[in-house]
Amino acid sequence: MFGFRPKVHVTAETALPGRDTPIVDVSKLRHRIFGEPLDTEYPDSQIGFFALGCFWGAEKLFWKLPGVQVCTGLTGHAETVRVVFDPTAINYADLVQTFFEHHDPTQGDRQGNDIGTQYRSVIFTSSRDQQQTAEEMRTDYQQALTEAGFGQITTTIEPATPFYFAEGYHQQYLDANPGGYDCHVRTGVACPI
């Protein structure tokens, strides 16, 4: 009636073909907040990848944590932030806690006003330890949400795939545009572990 199309879940088989090269030459970009080059290499043990809706707000959420540097980008199917962290200042479980407590992991392919598979809830892991931590914490959060009368968590936990940075004008967007849209708020569900 209003021109809305039925919801279609995009899969790897039905997705439009992607690019073979990054959108932007990241070697020319520096982090607006931290001043670091965005193409700096870090060990996998110091990187987390989190998709929790629009990456503008997700990035701002994580850059406020001690020991964290965040860069935004697109994985191909979900808006994701790459979180580089100092394990002497913050641990991976703290990042997963922040992830679960600042979006609604039960919404499926959306967060707030943002609708579509690119806004789905995903943790991309780069090690077996990260995978185990994320799975255990998802189970604990599901128990807490169930006890509080909420629905099933739709967050998937998947091995990290190549990460592509977004265009420069998207980097640290809410720092450059403080009045911009941000759907990331505390869920009110405290860490159950």
- Cα–Cα distance measured from residue 73 to residue 80, given in angstroms and rounded to the nearest whole number: 6
Return the closest-CA partner of residue 180 out of 58, 23, 32, 52. Answer: 58
Active site residues: 54
Which tokens is 175 given? Answer: 């720092």
The distance of Cα 25 from the centroid of its chain, to the nearest Å, equals: 22
Return the closest-CA partner of residue 49 out of 185, 164, 143. Answer: 164
Q: What are the CA-CA distances from residue 1 to residues 5, 74, 113 (Å)? A: 10, 32, 20
- Cα–Cα distance measured from residue 70 to residue 74, given in angstroms and rounded to the nearest whole number: 13
42 secondary structure, DSSP code: -
